[in-house]
Structure 1
Amino acid sequence: MLWKVSSNCSILNYTRNFINLLVEDEQRGEWRLTCYYGYLERSRRSSAWDLLRELGNISSLPWCIIGDFNDLLAQEDKRGNLPHPNWLCSGFRQAISDCDLSDIPLEGYPFTWIKSRGTPHVIEERLDRAMASTSWLNLFPNVRLSNLLASHSDHSPILLPCTPSSRSRFNGSFRFENSWLREPDLEEVVLEGWGAHENIEVVDRVARCANILQSWGRKKKVKFKEEIDECVRVMEVLRGNQGEEEGRRYQEIHDRHAVLLVQEEDYWKQRAKMHWLKEGGMNTSFFHKSATARRKKKNISKLVDEGGMEVHTQEELCEVAKQYFDTLFKPKNGEQEPVLTLIQRRVTEEDNMYLAAPITKVEIQQALFQMHPDKSPGPDGFNTAFYQRFWEQCGDDIFVAASTWLDRGYFPTSLNETNICLVPKCDNPNSMKDLRLISLCNVLYKMISKVLANRLKLCLDKCVSQEQSAFVEGRSILDNALIAIEVLHSLKRKTKGRRGELAFKIDISKAYDKVDWGFLRGVLTSMGFGDSWIRWIMMCVSSVNYSVLMNYDKVGPIIPGRGLRQGDPLSPYLFILVAEGLTSLIHQAVGRAKEDLASILGVRHVLGTGIYLGLSSMIGRSKKAIFSYIKDRIWKKMNSWRGRPLSKAGKDVMIKSVLQAIPSYVMSLFILPSSLIDDIEKMLNAFWWGGGSHNNKGIHWLAWDRLTCPKAKGGLGFRKFEAFNMAMVAKQAWNIIQNPESLAGKLIKARYFPRSSLLEASLGYNPSYAWRSIWKAKQILLHGCRWRIGSGDRVRVMYDPWLRGNGDRWVTSPQVECVYDLFVKDLLLENYKAWDIAKIRNLCLGSVAEEIIATPLISSVKEDKVIWEEKRNGCYSVKSGYNLAMRCIFRSDRHHVEGNWNDIWKAQSPHKTRHLLCRLCRGCLPTHVRLAQHYVDCELSCPVCDDEVEDDIHVFFGCVSARECWMAAGLSQLLENPAYQNGTATDRVFRMCRNEDNAILGRVGRMAFAVWNEWFTVHQLRHHNIAPVADPRPVR
């Protein structure tokens, strides 16, 4: 039983067969609602009628009762097979009369339950109904009961709306709907609006196309809803006719109905912005709730203006935003020349020729398809998905227009119009500083900007000092965090010496928004960028005008005099170029006393800098307390999703794409405490098996270690966090090995292994927590690295891994004593890069000589280099490191279960049905036998058959309802096949995997899901010895 928070309801009492609710209606007063489930067994019908009489005598309040009564009032409530016994009809009618209840007429199809659809033995009955007392009907004189369609259940849902629906509609500007992409006539409408053969500007084509699509879409939206209703109407008519032609027509309408439902899902998914959820069944309700939650979160109800006054009205909120942005984007004078003179020329003529070369159509296409198709559009309303879909039709015009604009040196005014979206940084923002500014640029502009960004980032390495690591290819922002941690660790541990040292953290508020355009031009000029390139950059930066979205009202236009847009592909690269001015000042700066700096700058003396680049700059004694915020973030994320319907397949994607990603950044540099990792894994396991909250933990049918096994070995491929953590940190160790001249590499080597290599380094004295983490994670590299022989003068024969082959990479002991002092170069011929076979066989014992000779030598390789054996390209990846750690360090193979798992995951069926088959084969379904094994007090017999034990085989293969599902799916021959009659349910499914193709397995999966839904429907109200207040359903 669920109700909205705004409804004033309270539960009076409940059992396994009913829930009694008191509703306090402001307009109509108090009334009573009972949700009811009648006894299924005919032998208990008299008890069911007595229960109805007891419920009727509880109170004299207006009363409505609704649910599955499992009883019929008349013979007309049934069609097919034998007539319903008259004594049952009479007994039920008498009970209704005793309770003074009136049956509310059912609109639509007359039956709510069906059995054996599509067969000569089809049975249909009206088991579900709503009834009310006279006093209740007086309160709701126009009430109607509707019969709806069910997607899986054999019961039809019934709807009894008590209040008229009212929906406010926002008449906003045009936005392209992704659901339109499935409309067959969309291309015709777009081509009409685009006007490919007319000589007009592209921005005018876009505007005209938007107008035509808006008009077409307005009709299509009405038609979209009407067509769903029409499909439902036709299916309601056809489902009463069981002929062959009617069955074929029913299937056609059913397929069209499915397409329309997918379009509806696309509609809400576009608004929910849940880019991580790619599959997992129909999630329309989930996306709808997510979009609603997202809209509520973005709503701003109050702000504090510049005078400190709190404002609430929409007009006042808009005025506060207008004043704030007018001030923020107002340019300020500053002395630039002393800084610009410090910046050296770094761009060559060859670079300028590459940067300023005419753009090509291929570059624009690549830039377009590098963007996410579902990101929010700019003011013109067209998102990336539109241009990606119609690139063939529009690409030539876009390319010609972009080339023309860059050649002439200015954009059309409307091209660079930008909406500013205000995203709250906290739950209850009350000032503009609590809002993050995200710029929504037109995709047509972003294509050009991204082409320029793709060119610029190839030149960044030479333009940006080694102190900056963000956005530069080949560098890692974690290098800066590692350097900061090591420096602060050194400062903290220093107790001797007369020379003082300090660390100074600079945090720039609204950094992007305060970049001065004149200074940006000066930096580009000082670095040596050509005039054409600078003109293109300044076109993109200075031609912008803003409109601020305040609760979907537009504030503006706002004409800025400075700032870079967060949302423009160019902005990150331009910002780090501007930051080179600060880097140059730091290079020039001379040492000053800490007190002088603190006095001049107005800063505090502290030990450490708190959070730097998202990581703790100093790690104290209690590691779990320091990193506990990770667990809090995961719990908060899981808790925020309660009430949003997610199937097991949806949970699978959410865990892998969202929850497991939360600690990834911290795990890139620090090894988290084992106790914290255990807590996180327990939380995720509880979320997977239960409802994601403490109120519904469910039975944990498998431990997390078993769920982390690969899908091909009976697991679900979830992460073992300890192994993943080590693999992430091992990436930092690999970067130090491969880039010894980087700033981080030189610092770490100088501190911890000045006279050896990282692979040989010891933990050392007084290490930082970052080095402890790297040192622990290097064991992954020791398992998977070897030296690739170049000159051989850096590789020791006995103490380094360098052999190639299936055996050990080290030369095994014992060997001749002199071998222990040799380098690999000593085993090579002097004037030719080849093995000295005679010398090797003379020095090395046993099979070692042959292993050395079998190790290939590549003549083009001149330098000895550490390579990663687990990948063909020799480069370390977190994925391959994780797989090696699971295999060699954590021995995950002990949890592997052999079977035809890959065939199940490749079955042509929805993701949720494959999940169900895997849970069936792993013994994770709560049948009565399984529950009894987990000490749950329940009857062992099947509630449908009564006389057989309910186990996996019975539920899916033997039960009457299961066999009917097999028959309805056209799989009777498969069920009766002698090859699938023996063994456990797992054995039978695996034999089907070996013998049947993916299409048949997909049908089996969908059929199994139908069986399980039927099982779930029967059990959710019958098998609870103690009915909980919250969610009474067993965990599926």
Structure 2
Amino acid sequence: MREESTAITSSSHSSNMLNNFISNNLLIDPPLSNNRYTWSNLRIPPTFSRLDRFLYNSNWEFLFNPHITRTLPRPTSDHFPLVCEDSSPTVRWGPAPFRLNSIALNDPEFKRNMDRWWDLSAQKGHPDFAFIQRLKSLANLIKPWQKEKFHSLTSAKDNIIREVDAIDKKELDTPLCQEDSDRRLALKAELSDLSLKESQFWFQRAKKLWLKEGDENSAFFHRICSSRQKRNLIHEIQDEEGSIQNTNNNISLAFVNYFSRLYRSSTKKDPLFIDNLEWNPIDYSEWSPLCAPFLEEEIKGVINSFEGNKAPGPDGFPISFFKSYWHLLKEDILVIFKDFFEKGVINKNMKNTYIALIAKKKNYSHPKDFRPISLTMSIYKIIAKTLSNWLKLTLPDTISGNQLAFIKNRQITDAILMANEALDYWKMKKIKEKNFPPSWRKWIGGCISNVTYSIIVNGKPQGRIKANRGLRQGDPLSPFLFVIAMDYLSRLLSHLESTGAIKGVCLANDCNISHILFADDILLFVEDNDLYLNNLRMAISLFEKASGLKINLTKSVMVPVNVSWPRALECASSWDISCHTLPLTYLGVPLGGNPKSKLFLRNIEDRIQKKLSNWKYAHISKGGRLTLIKSTLSSLPIYQLSVFQAPSSTYKNIEKLWRNFLWKGSCGSKGSHVINWSIVTKPKEEDGLGISRLQITNQALLSKWLWRYYSEPNSL
């Protein structure tokens, strides 16, 4: 394995050991396709050596496409970067959709051009249609400027890299003269300056400026530490017929067909059993503020409340554009809101939506293994958010207290506490019925009807699906509309319980609970009685027919409490669902276990261990590790410590993980604890590092329940 141009000091014994290792393990050492060496000492005369190489076995070669290895230019190092890449033809997915980069908003040249571009892009027609067309025209004006602006920076950098590479290649054949050697040093200095400027562009695309927040608490800093930056390309997928598709067109077609069926299939809905339910309708006296015209201050406040750099929809303009150029866009947006207020109609093109695919699991195989996230146009998002802000104020008085998601003053921890209390005790059509104003029914109908989807597959939008069902995950209105739909099930179950058709659990304070809802997570309580079980199944069937929604039985489980296991299996079999024992995980925390047990909150320790194993310790300074402890690691236990008092062993084990990470970095590295932990956990004002003690944090979080008990006496 000793491949060198001149004699250099190395160990024959070490080389023989490496050769034997490769031979004994049947490893393959592919030759370089474009170079002979991977290192040189950059001196006159030079010394070359092949120090770096890829090794893989025949199993890896069989699993993956043919690969080649080659060196890349080395602008700064004495090693050539080595890459092993797929040698199969590059897949062309088509042109990428336009997307305004937020860093352009602060560019002086962009600011000077915007007034002129906005005037040139003016359109005639209905307000919302004219606005969409104006954005399209504006995008066509910005696109060449943006490409040239940032391409010139990259182009200059690439030219320098090529020149440095040419000098390196020249050095392979003949010693460099002093002039070439000095030229290479000067080019590397210039490259460093250009790279600094280019990083401002690329790190902005990661939504954080690394140069400003490199070792501070930034999402980009955390992302740098993560080893999850694998390629997100979908190379193959199983279609509806069970065939594996691995070509550009067929992969796209498989996703488009799946979501077409999902969003177009229609279930007949019957308004069953609605009149007899208690709906808590909105009082007519409350209509006036709901029907008031939209105000400029209100709309501007909604825009400012958004995170500016979220991924845009088909228009390509992020909310940050609307924030920065409100003075130009204001007039058009106010006209759109005025027209929407009067007519309740939104142009269908404004509701065009991209669906981004987020894999639910690592080993995906079918389109159903992806979670669809809707990327809507920014102007639609502003309208929907404005309506959702009003819904947020209205729903607490009209939604059943059993629903704890998205409702003001109701929290996810309430659901967990109520569920545990219930188990401990055992151990021992909807918008109309809510009486929303007619204008609101018209507005909401205008928002959710005539929606068109395009599926983003490998970065490019594919297909055009006209939907006739479903809500968009990512639409500001969707959570509140879903809560309204689920309220039918809640009130149906409450009605059946009040008439004795089903029986849940009665807690010590005479609080009867038959169900707890947190969005689409439903916990049902029913006593072991065939009549109650049959009536519960009937209620679910009524809900499915009335709403068009369907319970996912594959994700449902039956958990017996003080019921024999054979009886539990019998009941679960009749429902065609699985049967589990306590404890189980509910809303991310253990349900039905013993909080005093050392193993009860062991999952927190496991999550921290997993997080640490994914971080690349070698590149994180002590200051960076301190930031990660205070921002990420210390926040992981907060959720569960808000509900349960952890045993002392949990505090000790978690803080030990923090302590070792802070001083040592990786588990196997050496490092002494230079400061006592009791000092480290003091506030900065007392010369500590400001890391909070878990026990104190736990006590503070639990004390909130006492405050809520007295301040919210009527809460469920």
TM-score by length of 1: 0.50
SS of the aligned residue for 2:374 comes to: strand
Equivalent in the alignment of 2:283: 348
Q: Which amino acid aligns with 1:173?
A: P
Q: Is the 8 A contact 1:682 1:704 kept in 2?
A: no
Equivalent in the alignment of 1:547: 454
Q: Distance in 2 between matches of 1:625 and 1:147?
A: 52
How much has 1:486 moved relative to structure 2?
A: 0.6
How much has 1:485 moved relative to structure 2?
A: 0.8
Q: Which amino acid aligns with 2:356?
A: C
Equivalent in the alignment of 1:714: 687
Q: Which residue of 685, 690, 700 corresponds with 1:727?
A: 700
Q: Which residue of 195, 199, 210 corresponds with 1:261?
A: 199
Structure 1 residues 471-620: aligned runs within 5 Å: 471-493=406-428, 522-589=429-496, 590-592=500-502, 594-598=529-533, 601=537, 604=558, 606-607=560-561, 610-620=584-594
SS of the aligned residue for 1:619 comes to: coil
Q: Which amino acid aligns with 1:659?
A: L
Q: Distance in 2 between matches of 1:311 and 1:12?
A: 50
Q: Which amino acid aligns with 1:326?
A: S
How much has 1:715 moved relative to structure 2?
A: 2.3
How much has 1:740 moved relative to structure 2?
A: 1.8
RMSD (Å) for aligned C-alpha atoms: 4.2
* Larger-gyration structure (1/2): 1
Matched, 1:376 2:311: yes
SS of the aligned residue for 2:599 comes to: helix
Q: Distance in 2 between matches of 1:584 and 1:169?
A: 52
How much has 1:599 moved relative to structure 2?
A: 5.6
Equivalent in the alignment of 2:322: 387
Q: Tell me, which stretches of 5 or more residues in structure 1 are unaligned?
A: 1-10, 16-20, 32-61, 74-101, 104-129, 137-141, 149-156, 235-239, 241-249, 494-521, 744-1036
Q: Is the 8 A contact 1:343 1:523 kept in 2?
A: no
Q: Which amino acid aligns with 2:279?
A: Q
Q: Which residue of 250, 255, 259 corresponds with 1:321?
A: 255
Q: Which residue of 580, 587, 609 corresponds with 1:635?
A: 609
How much has 1:160 moved relative to structure 2?
A: 3.6
1:119-163 CA-partner distances (Å, limit 9, x unpaired): xxxxxxxxxxx5459xx9xxxxx9998664xxxxxxxx4464567
Q: Which amino acid aligns with 1:327?
A: R
Q: Is the 8 A contact 1:341 1:526 kept in 2?
A: no
Q: Which residue of 97, 105, 108 corresponds with 1:184?
A: 108
Equivalent in the alignment of 2:715: 742
Q: Which residue of 371, 394, 411 corresponds with 2:346?
A: 411
Q: Which amino acid aligns with 2:653?
A: D
Q: Closer, same or farther in 2 for the Cα pair 1:690/1:172, shift >3 Å?
A: farther
Q: Which residue of 26, 31, 34 corresponds with 1:27?
A: 31
Q: Distance in 1 between matches of 2:12 and 2:319?
A: 53
Q: Distance in 2 between matches of 1:231 and 1:182?
A: 27
How much has 1:526 moved relative to structure 2?
A: 1.0
Q: Which residue of 445, 449, 467 corresponds with 2:384?
A: 449
Q: Distance in 2 between matches of 1:145 and 1:379?
A: 37
Q: Closer, same or farther in 2 for the Cα pair 1:426/1:707, shift >3 Å?
A: farther
Q: Distance in 2 between matches of 1:164 and 1:614?
A: 40
Q: Distance in 2 between matches of 1:159 and 1:358?
A: 66
How much has 1:64 moved relative to structure 2?
A: 6.3
How much has 1:195 moved relative to structure 2?
A: 2.4
Q: Closer, same or farther in 2 for the Cα pair 1:413/1:145, shift >3 Å?
A: closer
Q: Which residue of 215, 219, 238 corresponds with 2:144?
A: 215
Q: Is the 8 A contact 1:624 1:675 kept in 2?
A: yes
Q: Distance in 2 between matches of 1:341 and 1:12?
A: 89
Q: Distance in 2 between matches of 1:302 and 1:145?
A: 32
Q: Closer, same or farther in 2 for the Cα pair 1:605/1:253, shift >3 Å?
A: closer
How much has 1:172 moved relative to structure 2?
A: 0.9
Equivalent in the alignment of 1:681: 655
SS of the aligned residue for 2:401 comes to: coil
Structure 1 residues 247-326: aligned runs within 5 Å: 258-267=196-205, 269-270=206-207, 280=215, 293-294=228-229, 296=231, 298-326=232-260
Q: Is the 8 A contact 2:102 2:204 kept in 1?
A: yes
Q: Is the 8 A contact 1:419 1:549 kept in 2?
A: yes
Equivalent in the alignment of 1:225: 154
How much has 1:347 moved relative to structure 2?
A: 1.3
SS of the aligned residue for 1:458 comes to: helix
Q: Which residue of 695, 710, 729 corresponds with 2:668?
A: 695
Q: Closer, same or farther in 2 for the Cα pair 1:648/1:260, shift >3 Å?
A: farther
1:637-684 CA-partner distances (Å, limit 9, x unpaired): 222222784444443443333222222211110112221222222222
Q: Which amino acid aligns with 1:606?
A: P
Q: Is the 8 A contact 2:99 2:312 kept in 1?
A: yes
Equivalent in the alignment of 2:117: 193
How much has 1:469 moved relative to structure 2?
A: 2.4
Q: Closer, same or farther in 2 for the Cα pair 1:422/1:257, shift >3 Å?
A: closer
Q: Is the 8 A contact 1:456 1:573 kept in 2?
A: yes
Q: Closer, same or farther in 2 for the Cα pair 1:412/1:609, shift >3 Å?
A: farther
Equivalent in the alignment of 1:662: 636
Equivalent in the alignment of 2:507: none
Q: Which residue of 282, 289, 293 corresponds with 1:358?
A: 293
SS of the aligned residue for 2:274 comes to: helix
Query: Which shifted more, 185-194 or 568-577?
Result: 185-194
Q: Report the number of matched residues.
A: 580
TM-score by length of 2: 0.71
Q: Is the 8 A contact 1:300 1:429 kept in 2?
A: no
Q: What percentage of residue pairs aligned between the two structures are identical?
A: 27
SS of the aligned residue for 1:378 comes to: coil
Q: Closer, same or farther in 2 for the Cα pair 1:279/1:285, shift >3 Å?
A: closer
Q: Which residue of 470, 473, 491 corresponds with 2:405?
A: 470
Q: Is the 8 A contact 1:339 1:584 kept in 2?
A: no
Q: Distance in 1 between matches of 2:41 and 2:687?
A: 40
Q: Which amino acid aligns with 2:441?
A: I
How much has 1:472 moved relative to structure 2?
A: 1.8
How much has 1:332 moved relative to structure 2?
A: 0.7
1:564-601 CA-partner distances (Å, limit 9, x unpaired): 11111111112212222112101210334623444674
Q: Distance in 2 between matches of 1:379 and 1:290?
A: 31
1:403-449 CA-partner distances (Å, limit 9, x unpaired): 22342332222211111112122221233443222111122211111
Q: Closer, same or farther in 2 for the Cα pair 1:301/1:699, shift >3 Å?
A: farther
Q: Distance in 2 between matches of 1:406 and 1:423?
A: 35
1:322-362 CA-partner distances (Å, limit 9, x unpaired): 33323322221132241355243521234222122111221
Structure 1 residues 233-252: aligned runs within 5 Å: none
SS of the aligned residue for 1:694 comes to: coil
1:776-835 CA-partner distances (Å, limit 9, x unpaired): xxxxxxxxxxxxxxxxxxxxxxxxxxxxxxxxxxxxxxxxxxxxxxxxxxxxxxxxxxxx
Q: Distance in 2 between matches of 1:657 and 1:468?
A: 31
Q: Is the 8 A contact 2:680 2:691 kept in 1?
A: yes
SS of the aligned residue for 1:547 comes to: strand
Q: Which amino acid aligns with 1:190?
A: M
Equivalent in the alignment of 2:522: none
Equivalent in the alignment of 2:332: 397
Q: Distance in 2 between matches of 1:163 and 1:611?
A: 43
How much has 1:457 moved relative to structure 2?
A: 0.9
Determine which structure has greater relative contact order: mean sequence separation of CA pairs < 8 Å that are 6+ residues apart, divided by chain length: 2
How much has 1:30 moved relative to structure 2?
A: 14
Q: Distance in 1 between matches of 2:481 and 2:301?
A: 21
How much has 1:305 moved relative to structure 2?
A: 4.0
Q: Distance in 1 between matches of 2:34 and 2:196?
A: 41
Q: Is the 8 A contact 2:375 2:474 kept in 1?
A: yes
Q: Is the 8 A contact 1:423 1:436 kept in 2?
A: yes
